Amino acid sequence: DSGVTQTPKHLITATGQRVTLRCSPRSGDLSVYWYQQSLDQGLQFLIQYYNGEERAKGNILERFSAQQFPDLHSELNLSSLELGDSALYFCASSVTGGGDEQFFGPGTRLTVL
């Protein structure tokens, strides 16, 4: 158990819908990262937050957005969902976000029908 929690574990929805994925980092970690893993692909970095502020952005679509709240939990919002958005979404956390070890949650499996 990494100490990072993600909810829900599974999510099934339809095209065009909007969903919210939630992540609670390890106690004491200030930085949160979001990754997407599509079938047979590596983890694609989406976005990083540090202490409530966006720190780095990767290949995140404009239909996706994220935020980190004062209690340091984070939410990833996916809207106008397409079939190709079906994937595993991982959240990771680290203490500083400056290259220290990232601890991953178990992921949320999103299926868009």
Partner 1 sequence: DQQVKQNSPSLSVQEGRISILNCDYTNSMFDYFLWYKKYPAEGPTFLISISSIKDKNEDGRFTVFLNKSAKHLSLHIVPSQPGDSAVYFCAARWISSGSARQLTFGSGTQLTVLP
Residue 4 in contact with partner 1, rule: CB under 8 A: yes
Q: Using the rule CB under 8 A, is 90 a contact of partner 1? A: yes
43 is a site residue for partner 1 (CB under 8 A): yes
CA distance 104 to 113: 27
Give the C-alpha separation, 53 to 80, whole Å.
25
Strand ranges across the sheet with 5-7 = 5-7, 19-24, 74-78, 64-68
Binding of partner 1 at residue 42 (CB under 8 A)?
yes
Q: Is 111 in the site for partner 1 (CB under 8 A)?
A: no
Q: Residues in the site for partner 1, rule: CB under 8 A?
A: 2, 4, 35, 40-45, 48, 50, 55-56, 58, 90, 92, 96-99, 101-107
